[in-house]
């Protein structure tokens, strides 16, 4: 498969995955672009041991986790509220709230639910995160319960 094709097919999904991790439009754009730079650089090493989608989602997940680790080591100062909120206004309030809730989850849960929201099959999610399929099913159920509870507490549906 050509890189341009891969980019067109997967850009939106990878961006949403990154958005679920960082809950910041610009940072998600940067992470998605970094992911596709890695994909472009390593495409010839892809061995078809998994689907190309699984491979790309694994790269994106690892990229996001690296970024989160960097931020823990070097916390950035908060932007003034009006600057950080401007980019988010194009998203519906419920979707903004969903990204906020996802961003508050533990890292593995963030990967799992973000992939689930992208309609990735649970056996593929299991390969990406290195867990059993049964464990992934249980985690997805629990994560959905947590998110539903947060929506109820916030008066959302």
- CATH number of the domain that residue 137 is part of: 1.20.140
Segments forming the whole domain that contains residue 107: 3-153
Q: How far apart are the first and last CA of the chain?
A: 40
Q: For the chain, how many structural domains are there in total?
A: 1
Contact 83, 93 (CB under 8 A): no
Going by the DSSP 8-state scheme, the letter that residue 90 receives in this structure is: G
**Using N-to-C axis directions, what is the helix angle for 52-73 and 122-129, rounded to 10°?**
50
Model confidence, pTM: 0.66
Give pLDDT tens digits along the chain (157 positions).
Answer: 789 999 999 999 999 989 888 888 899 999 999 999 999 999 998 888 778 998 999 899 889 888 877 776 655 444 444 434 444 445 688 888 888 888 888 888 988 998 898 888 999 899 888 899 999 999 999 999 999 998 888 876 5
Size (the chain), residues:
157
Contact 151, 97 (CB under 8 A): yes
50/127 Cα distance (integer angstroms): 9
11/44 Cα distance (integer angstroms): 19
């Amino acid at each position: 498969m050509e890189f341009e094709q891969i980019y067109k097919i997967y850009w939106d999904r990878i961006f949403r995955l990154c958005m679920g991790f960082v809950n910041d439009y610009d940072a998600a754009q940067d992470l998605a672009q970094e992911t596709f730079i890695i994909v472009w650089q390593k495409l010839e090493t892809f061995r078809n041991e998994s689907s190309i989608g699984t491979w790309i989602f694994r790269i994106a997940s690892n990229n996001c986790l690296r970024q989160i680790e960097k931020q823990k080591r070097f916390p950035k100062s908060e932007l003034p509220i009006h600057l950080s909120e401007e980019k988010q206004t194009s998203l519906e309030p419920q979707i903004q709230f969903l990204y906020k809730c996802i961003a508050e989850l533990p890292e593995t849960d963030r990967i799992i639910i973000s992939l689930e929201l992208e309609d990735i099959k649970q056996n593929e999610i299991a390969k990406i995160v290195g867990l059993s399929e049964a464990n992934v099913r249980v985690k997805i159920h629990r994560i959905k319960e947590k998110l539903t509870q947060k929506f109820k507490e916030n008066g959302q549906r």
